[in-house]
Chains A and B, each alone.
Chain A
Amino acid sequence: MGKIELQGVEKSFGKVDVIKDVNLSIEDGSFVVFVGPSGCGKSTLLRLIAGLEDVTAGKILIDGTDVVDTPPAKRGLSMVFQSYALYPHMSVRKNIGFGLRMAGRPKAEIDQKVESAAKILNLTQYLDRRPGQLSGGQRQRVAIGRAIVREPKAFLFDEPLSNLDAALRVQMRLEIAKLQDTLGTTAIYVTHDQVEAMTMADSIVVLNAGRIEQVGSPLELYNRPANLFVAGFIGSPKMNLLGGQSAAPFRAATIGVRPEHLRVERNGSGTWRGRVSVAEHVGSDTFLYVQVDGAGEITVRAPGEVGLKPGDIVGLTPEDGRIHRFGDDGRALAA
């Protein structure tokens, strides 16, 4: 079991408030991703749950028990660090088995559990090597092995893939998601990469400046961002946000349209008319940066290959029902 609840959690370092009144409920077995720009407090929040930092105020409940005064060792959670944080003086076998050894489990049980974890993670042939003799991906697997072997209530991942190269990152992302699904253990995953967040999460928590901006499934955040921050943060390329006279006809202070929800008319007719300044051809899509008078630069994602070049005049029309409206306070307005 691993239901985690945060109630009014606050954290200050001296006079700096890093986490401000966070309330959150994480269901048992779910994969929750904390995402946000650097410095938003997502890692701090994870460390508070882990017990590596003490809360300034509030409660952290694990399966209904307040753990704020419980040391990390006793919370029954395991953590995978960005730097892997393996014990350099121990073999892979000892690294993975360290938690069980600390718990005073019998040697036979440790051996058996380490072997089975190594099998799941394809580490069997490396069990007697030291971390220094492994590649980045293998080290990351050892760190994951160390986390799963203890059968924790929840896994905490602190940007575990950011030290890996792009190809390996995609592969490990898939492996972690599959593994969590098989084990059915609650996971909290911190990342600044919104693609990781979108692809892995059951539920995404968007954090900004120590506060939760929105909680929801990846598609909820994509389709119904609660405010300007989430609208701009989720989605790649970023949502186009237009204010002033462009937004006025829609009775909003700001409107947002995702690049993939704009139709391009070659004859220049449409809601907005502008000149293509840059055209990026990536094969599957074409990204157009269109300079529109009075509205600024609008990004368009057109599927496939589009024969447009810089200087061409185009018309842009948003798809029906794909316009997001925001009020003066930055919050989304009802459709």
Chain B
Amino acid sequence: MARRVSPTYKIGITAVAWVVAFLIFFPILWMIITSFKTELDAFSTPPKFLFFDWTVENYAIVQERSDYVRYAMNSVILAGGATLLGLIIAIPAAWAMAFFPTRRTKDLLLWMLSTKMMPAVGVLVPIYLVFRSLGLLDTHIGLIIVLGMANLPIVIWMLFTYFKEIPKDILEAARMDGATSWKEVVFVLAPMAVPGIASTILLNVILAWNEAFWTLNLTTLNAAPLTAFIASYSSPEGLFWAKLSAASTLAIAPILVLGWFSQRQLVRGLTFGAVK
């Protein structure tokens, strides 16, 4: 039975939702507004919301001072590579845990997640030393490994929950149809889990894109992504809020657009027609 909703309640709840959404969005909005201010306006008290001299000079300066495209390319390579590496390991792992569980599967999942509870700074020195000896400092491959592994527990955990929803019968049918384990995953499991895998990819890309600890500590120039690009505007010579905002806006723009377009994919549930 549908719940009866009074118009006042509906208006009230809508207003609350808008306020909450605005509060969450405000920091990003403020950052975008600030990126169009002069450095002086950016500092002014009381803060100026809309009535100031709009300027795009920050963007021009940022582009002139540092090569945005190169940083952005590095971000794409790192986030994409880390996500790909994560999926290659996580899909078989989640498949095994979802469809061939043992008594220890739950413990194993928890243990994996618990590695995320360890502060990254605790292993910074050993990892830095290992990277130095292996010549991985400031390389794409080194960062891809670190970012991929750092997010692996979350990726496995997410895929596990999605795979759990897929009826076991269908995978068994594939096995009876002569599919090897590998083909079963590629031709049956993965296509059926597309919505789940898509949201996992998106989340992983966002996490890797915004990851600042490892990228700042293990890169200098060659493999430095947009996080390093932003950080370069918060320097000992002074804080340039407007330029920092412009750099940040440029840094989040690609990921924001990606999120926008994959919204539908993200919220679409798993729908099956094969099983009653």
Contact = CB atoms under 8 A, between A and B. Distances in A.
Interface string B27-59: 000000000000000000000000000000000
A84 B273 CA distance: 10
A163 B169 CA distance: 15
A62 interface: no
A132 B273 contact: yes
A102 B276 contact: no
A133 B273 contact: yes
A132 B274 contact: yes
A87 B191 CA distance: 10
Contacts, number: 94
B275 interface: yes
Interface stretch (B62-70, B71-79, B170-178, B245-253): B170-178
Contact of B274 (A71, A79, A87, A103): A87
A74 B173 CA distance: 13
Interface in B256-273: 271-273
Interface in A113-163: 130-134, 136, 139, 146, 150, 156, 163
B203 interface: no
Given A87-B188, A102-B183, A131 B175 contact: no
- Taking each of A87, A136, A150, which has the highest tally of chain B beta carbons within 10 Å of its own beta carbon? A87
Given A131-B274, A163-B276, A86 B176 contact: no
Interface string B191-220: 110100000000000000000000000000
A72 B175 contact: yes
- Tell me the interface secondary structure of chain B in the complex: helix
Contacts of A74: 178
A85 interface: yes
A102 B274 contact: no
A51 B174 CA distance: 13
A77 B178 CA distance: 9
Nearest to A158: B169
B145 interface: no
A146 B176 CA distance: 10
Nearest to B181: A71
A86 B192 CA distance: 11
A14 to B, nearest CB: 9
Given A84-B274, A85-B275, A163-B276, A52 B175 contact: yes
A106 to B, nearest CB: 16
Interface string A221-263: 0000000000000000000000000000000000000000000
B181 to A, nearest CB: 9
Contacts of B187: 98, 102
B172 A85 contact: yes
B149 interface: no
A72 B169 contact: no
A88 B192 contact: yes
A72 B179 CA distance: 9
A151 to B, nearest CB: 12
B12 interface: no
B170 A50 contact: no
Interface in A41-100: 50-52, 71-74, 77-79, 81-89, 98-99
B272 A73 contact: no
A43 to B, nearest CB: 12
A83 B272 contact: no
Given A89-B191, A102-B183, A132 B175 contact: no
B276 A73 contact: no
B222 interface: no
A83 B167 contact: yes
Nearest to A95: B274
B272 A88 contact: yes
A79 B167 CA distance: 16
Nearest to A149: B177
Contacts of A133: 273
Contact of A73 (B178, B271, B275): B178
Nearest to A81: B169
Contacts of B169: 81-83, 85
B180 interface: yes
Given A73-B175, A74-B178, 20 more contacts: A51-B175, A52-B176, A72-B176, A73-B176, A73-B178, A78-B176, A78-B177, A81-B172, A81-B173, A85-B170, A86-B273, A88-B274, A89-B191, A89-B192, A98-B187, A99-B178, A102-B174, A102-B177, A150-B177, A156-B176
Interface of A: 50-52, 71-74, 77-79, 81-89, 98-99, 102-103, 130-134, 136, 139, 146, 150, 156, 163
17 contacts: A50-B176, A72-B172, A72-B176, A85-B169, A85-B170, A85-B274, A87-B170, A87-B188, A88-B170, A88-B192, A88-B272, A98-B177, A102-B174, A131-B273, A131-B274, A132-B274, A150-B178
Interface of B: 167, 169-170, 172-180, 183, 187-188, 191-192, 194, 271-276
| In the A-B complex, the 3 residue pairs with the closest CB atoms | A132-B273, A85-B169, A99-B177
